[in-house]
Each structure stands twice: as C-alpha cells, then as structure tokens.
Structure 1
Amino acid sequence: MHVLVLPSWFPTDFSAAGAYFYEQLNALQDAGCTVGVVYPEHHSLRRLTTAALATHRFQTRWHVEHGIPVLRRHSWNVRSRLNGTFAARIRDAEQLAQRYAAAYGVPDIVHAMSAQWAGPATARIASIWNRPMALTEHFSGFMRNTLLPEQRARLPKAFSHAHAVAAVSPTLRDTLIRQEWCTAPIRLIPNPVDCSFFTRPARRPTAPPLCLATIGRLVPEKGIDLLLHAFRRVVLEQMGLRDANVALHIAGTGPEHETLRTLASNLDIDQYVTFHGHLSRAAVRDLLHRSHLFVLPSRHETFGIAVAEAVATGCPVLATRCGGPEHILTPSTGHLVASHSVPALATGLRTMVPTLHQYDTAVLRDSACNRFGVVTFTERTMALYREALASFS
C-alpha cells in the first residue's frame, strides 16, 4: 500500500516538534507500506535571520529523512495569525503533492496527521486524485478551545471528507464527538513506543541522590512552572530538606527556557535543578534509566508519549489528569493528580516518593509495550486504512 502523509507539524531546522512521526512512518514501512511525506514549512518571521534566509528562501527540496522521502517547501509565514495563513499552506501542500505524484505515482491513500491545516489540504488532494482519505487527530487545541477562526471555518470539510478518522487518546476522541466535529465512529490509535529502544536498565538506580525527571517542550502548556513550585514546597518547605540529596532534571527547549531558569533561582532551588536543553534520543533514554520518578505536570496533553516511554523503561510516573496520561497510567505504573495545581503536584510527590520501591519494573514495561508497542500501532493504523478504502469504495 502506498501512503502519502501530510502532517500539520513536522521536525524542521528550528524545531523538533513531531519527531515521533518518524517512528510511526518507519513502523508503517516495516509493515510493507510505501510511505512519503509532503510538508510546507511556514516559519514565523521571529526566526528570520540572514543565516536562516540563506537556507529557507521559499525553495522546494527533496530530503530523505529516516529512510522516508520528504518533499518540503522552505518558506516563511508572512501573514502570522491573520486570515489566509492556512489557505497559503493548503495551496503549497497541493503543489507539493502534485510534484510528489509526478516522482512516485499517485498513492493509494492520503493520510492527514491532525486536521489543523493538513486536514483541509488532504481533503482537497484526495478529491483531486480520487483517493480515500484517513485522518488521525493529535491536536490538543480542540480540548483547549484555541482554534483560530480560519481553522473553525475549514476543519468541518476535513472531517466530513475523511473516510476513516482516529484520535490518539480517549479524551481527544470524546472531545471531537462532543464538539460535533465528527459524526462517524472514531478509532483509537495511541502514539507508539519503540520498546526495542526504550528498554529497562540493567538495574534501577539507588538513592541517594533521588532523581526526578521531566521531558518536554518548555512552553506554558507543559506546566514546568507548576512543577518547580511543587518541588520547592516538598523539598524546601514541607519536608525541610534544604540539604536534601535530590535532583530535578528538566530536558527540552522552548521559549520559556530563560523564564523557568529565573523562576528556579527565585524559588531558591536552582542548586537542585538541572536544565539539560535538547537531548538526543539516546540521552533521553539514559536520563530515564538514571531517574527514580518521571513527572509530567502538563496543563494539557493529547497523549503524552514521554509518559509511555518512561513506563517502558520501568520508571514510575507522576502525571496530571490533562487529557492523555489518564489512558496510559494505571495504579501499577504511576499516580495521577489534578492538573493546573501546585498543591496537587506537591501532594503527588509526597505520596509517591516513599513508595517508589514498590513499583515492579517488569510490570511497568509490559504495560507500556503490550498497550502502546509498535506492533499494536501498526495493526490499528492498517485497520484505519482498510476502513478508509472500504468506505471510499
């Protein structure tokens, strides 16, 4: 089966957002699919520099990324958030798709990864080619009610045209149904975990020091500020552990990097907190191997792939009820607390730290790999394609 994928976001020279899509596309390749990607990059003018313009000057280029042919248009979003932003990306996507078809042939199915703008683009391309369309929704903006007016005007066409629809978490699926974006049945296809890579360490680390870790983009919805406040309450105030042998490791980059470093200093916990910045995949695994507890303090999360990866390494997780982790965690793999709440996170830390030795690393790993392994993802996605083909025919 030949599948062309249009992702609403994808890794670029300026952002690693959507890196998990590579693993998904490689899994489909391993299952026998021919997979390609077209992606019109429209970067914010805030990133514009002389060096950036030298490599991103509205040109179209082929790339081979993780063994996948990717056709990109390297351009800039001159409209910012004004009306017409998504219309421009849709036009670019259509042009890229035609160039892709000229090189590789018209695919059997066109798959939108999130309707955000790729949904309307995929609907248009599928109509031109007379091919079935699949849509997998990843975007937390539906749950956060942050869709732009242009998206609200264009997305109904995407959902109505799709021949098969999936969501990455039950919370997102229920939101799409409740908001009446989709009247057809919605499959559940969580993001996969590469359990051949995210393995258990030879043995779990011993404390001290007690190592806590969180991984994610440094943006407000990830709630790192809440975690820093909760960490202070537990370590410095309520437990009186000013000289405690404890460390909080924060991995990731984003616009809040300096703000969060300043917050850690103002809270007088900077000596306990390490900001690692961007980490390679191998370094992420190493950090999970060295950690006693993974914490996800997000305000909103459609799935939470970092939670599933942590569980696959045998690391227990404390997470907020923010949309995705509720579907991942069980009492044997971690603990859930309310989102948007410093007291809830602090209580969660105080609850979990004394009981970390009770978690069975083999049980954690089996839970992640059985429910979110690559094989499960591939089977569910191929079923989505079969549904789309049947509905189309």
Structure 2
Amino acid sequence: MKILMITPWYPDKESPNSGAFIRSQAETLSKDHDVVVIAAKVNYRKFGLYTYHHETSQYGKVTEHRLTIYKSLPVYNQLNAWFIMLRYSRKVAREFKPDVIHASIGYPGAYWGYLLKRYTGAPYILQEHTRVKNNFRSYFHRQLTLAGLRKADALVAVGTRLGTELKSLLHRDINVIPNVVEVERYRYDHRPQTTVMQIGFLGGMNTPVKGLDILLQAIAGIQKDFVLHIGGTGSKEEEYKAQAEQLGIASKCKFYGFIPYNDIPQWMEQLHFFVCSSRYETFCVALVEAMASGVPVVSTCCGGPEDFVNEGNGLLVENENIAALREGIRHMMQTHQQYNPQAIAIYASDNFSRQSFLTRIEKLYHEVIERAKR
C-alpha cells in the first residue's frame, strides 16, 4: 500500500521533538508499506512574498519532504502558504500516486487532505492530536477546519475524550486510535538507588497547558526529601524557575531544558515515579514513556490519561486541584514500591506498541479504500 502522510507537526532541525509521534507512525507503517511524508509549516521569523525552502530526506524507509514557507503580508500570508503547500504536495502526490492519504491536525491537515483527495482520487483520513478549538484561530481557520473534517473519509482521535468532542461537533463516528510510543526503546529493570524521592515531569513550557505551575505549588507543601526532575523548555521556563525560588524549593528542582528524543529513555530510568499535572491532554506521550520504563505515574484527570492510567500503573487526581495533586504525590511516595515495573511496561507495550497501532490503522485504511471503490 502507498501511504501519503501530510502534517504541520514533524521533527526538524529547529524543533527535533515536534511531532515525533507522527514520525514514529510513519516509520511503523514503512515496515510493510511505501510511506511518503510531507511536513509543511510557516516560518514567521523570515519574510518573503513567495519564498519557501524545501528539502527531501530519508528516515529509514520513509521519504520525508519538509516544506518551510516564509511569512508574507497579513491576510495574503494564508493564501500564499496554501498556494505553495498545495503546489508542492500535488507534485509529490502526482509522482507517488498514493492509495490513501493520512492527514494530521485539523488545520491545515483536514482541508489539505480533502484537496489532495480531489486531485489524486485517493481517500483520506484525518487524525486529530489536539483540541478542535485549537484550530479555530480565526473565522478562516474555523471554516476550513470544519469543512475538511466533515469531508474526511474517516476521522481518528488519539483519545476517547477528544473523540467525544469531535463527535459532538460533527455528529459522525470517530475512531479512537492512540499514538505510537516506541516502547521497545525503554527498559523497566533499572531503578534509582536512593531513598530520596526522584520525581519526573516532562513537557513544553510555551503555554501553561502542562500545569508545571500547579505541580510546583503542590510539591512545595511536601516536607519529605525529593528531587523534581523537570524536562522541557519554552518561553515560560524562566517564570517557572522564579516560581520555584519563590516557593523555596529551587534546590529540589532540577531543570534540564530541552531533552533530545533519543535521551528520554535514560532520563526516565532515574525516576521513582512520574507526574502529569496538565490542564488538558488529548493523549500524553510522556506518561506512556514513563510506563514503558516501568515507572508508576500520578496524573490529573485532564482528558487523555483517563484512557490508560489505572490502579495497576498509577493514580488519577482531580484536575487543576493543587491539594489533590499534593495528596496523590504523597501517596505515591509511600506506595511506589508496591507497583510491578514489569507489569506496567507490559501494559504499555500491549496498548501502545507499533504493532498495536499498525493493526488498528491498517484496518481503517482498508475500510476507506474499499468504500472509495464502490
């Protein structure tokens, strides 16, 4: 089968972890299929009326096209980006002749997929990884997103709650297929040899969505010795460091900054448990990466984690509730040794491995291809 994947999120030199889970999907599919990826984004730091840069690379058996479009004039900028993106992707599609188009992210993925379907005749699915309303940055964005979602041959959400949101908005069936997590990269038989609690947090810091401010407030009220390992970077990183100072826990917080994707397995091995304090998640890859390492977790009820955090691998606490999160962390400090690392890792492997994803997505591909032939 020939699969054309189109996405605005994908790893590149500037953002090596961005959309890493989409690259994992592409690599997984390439084991048995021909896969071409087109990743397109606008570079808002460079100006050009009709200027773009493109490069082609090979990642294993996956052919990758990265298209970077320079920003232009207001209003015209969006039209310019669409024109360049479609002209380039039509050229790739004409040469590749896909059997199915796998689009990601409602904007621009949904309508982009629809237009390529009109050109190639191949059916398209849209896999949503973020809240639908995050695509509604203007009337223009909203209308194109909704039109593309309604016209998709199938819709996929990475979590049940996100699927419910899509269904209530579009009144059509939604397939729930979780992200691929490369569980084989992680080992569960290594634990920190210290009585000082080693707690992990991993997430972007450009917005307050990951809730690090909530975690810092919660953990400041815990007297027991601990080290909070904080991975990730963004525009709010200095603000969080200042908050840790103000709360008197700076000496207990270790800020790592950006952690390369390949270094995450080793980073996880130093933890007794991992915390997700997010205000909202559609999935939460970091939680599953912790589980693949055999590490129990504490998570807020923020959307995605409710699908897979259970009594065998961790605790769920009320969302945006500092006291509840603090109590959950205290409880995990006392009980983390009662969890079975191997069982946690097996659960992650059974539900989020490459094969688990492949079985589900291939079935959906065949369904939309068969319907298109009728």
How far apart are 1:363 and its partner, in Å?
Answer: 1.4
How far apart are 1:141 and its partner, in Å?
Answer: 4.3
* 2:212 pairs with one of 207, 220, 224: 224
Q: Check the 8 A contact 2:135/2:142 in 1, yes or no.
A: no
Q: Partner letter of residue 199 of structure 2?
A: L
SS in 2 for 1:204: coil
Q: Check the 8 A contact 2:159/2:307 in 1, yes or no.
A: yes
* 1:89 pairs with one of 72, 81, 94: 81
Q: Check the 8 A contact 2:103/2:125 in 1, yes or no.
A: yes
Matches within 5 A, 1:43-58: 43-45=43-45, 48=46, 58=52
How far apart are 1:342 and its partner, in Å?
Answer: 1.6
In the superposition, relative to structure 1, how do residues 167 and 86 fare at CA in structure 2: closer, same or farther (>3 Å)?
Answer: farther
**Could you say which residue in structure 2 is the equivalent of 1:61?**
55
In the superposition, relative to structure 1, how do residues 5 and 110 fare at CA in structure 2: closer, same or farther (>3 Å)?
Answer: same
Q: Partner letter of residue 284 of structure 1?
A: I
**Could you say which residue in structure 2 is the equivalent of 1:319?**
299
How far apart are 1:270 and its partner, in Å?
Answer: 0.9
Q: Check the 8 A contact 2:21/2:181 in 1, yes or no.
A: no
* Matched length: 370
Determine the C-alpha separation between the residues in 2 that align with 1:170 and 1:256: 30
Determine the C-alpha separation between the residues in 1 that align with 2:291 and 2:184: 13
Q: State whether structure 2 residue 69 is matched by structure 1 residue 75.
A: yes
Deviation digits for residues 84-114 of structure 1 (CA, Å, limit 9, x no counterpart)? 6554433232112122135x42111111112
Determine the C-alpha separation between the residues in 1 that align with 2:138 and 2:303: 21
Q: State whether structure 2 residue 108 is matched by structure 1 residue 123.
A: no
Residue identity over aligned pairs, in percent, reads 26
Q: Partner letter of residue 40 of structure 2?
A: P
Determine the C-alpha separation between the residues in 2 that align with 1:287 and 1:268: 25
TM-align CA RMSD: 2.1
Q: State whether structure 2 residue 181 is matched by structure 1 residue 193.
A: yes
In the superposition, relative to structure 1, how do residues 10 and 346 fare at CA in structure 2: closer, same or farther (>3 Å)?
Answer: same
Determine the C-alpha separation between the residues in 2 that align with 1:295 and 1:75: 37
**Could you say which residue in structure 1 is the equivalent of 2:23?**
22
**Could you say which residue in structure 1 is the equivalent of 2:161?**
171
Q: Check the 8 A contact 2:90/2:119 in 1, yes or no.
A: no
Determine the C-alpha separation between the residues in 1 that align with 2:364 and 2:79: 27
Determine the C-alpha separation between the residues in 2 that align with 1:252 and 1:60: 28
Determine the C-alpha separation between the residues in 2 that align with 1:145 and 1:7: 13
Q: State whether structure 2 residue 128 is matched by structure 1 residue 137.
A: yes
Q: Check the 8 A contact 2:69/2:81 in 1, yes or no.
A: no
Deviation digits for residues 126-147 of structure 1 (CA, Å, limit 9, x no counterpart)? 11111111111111244x7965
Q: Check the 8 A contact 1:8/1:112 in 2, yes or no.
A: no
- How high is the TM-score relative to the length of structure 1? 0.88
Q: Check the 8 A contact 1:164/1:186 in 2, yes or no.
A: yes
Determine the C-alpha separation between the residues in 2 that align with 1:232 and 1:375: 41
**Could you say which residue in structure 1 is the equivalent of 2:360?**
380
- How high is the TM-score relative to the length of structure 2? 0.93
Q: Name which of structure 1's ranges 34-43 and 64-73 shifts more when overlaid on structure 2.
A: 64-73
Q: Check the 8 A contact 1:111/1:133 in 2, yes or no.
A: yes
Deviation digits for residues 211-231 of structure 1 (CA, Å, limit 9, x no counterpart)? 000111113101111111111
Determine the C-alpha separation between the residues in 2 that align with 1:343 and 1:146: 33
Q: Name which of structure 1's ranges 370-379 and 274-283 shifts more when overlaid on structure 2.
A: 274-283
SS in 1 for 2:185: coil
Which structure 1 segments of 5+ residues have no match? none
* 1:213 pairs with one of 200, 221, 229: 200
Which structure 2 segments of 5+ residues have no match? none
Determine the C-alpha separation between the residues in 2 that align with 1:109 and 1:306: 29
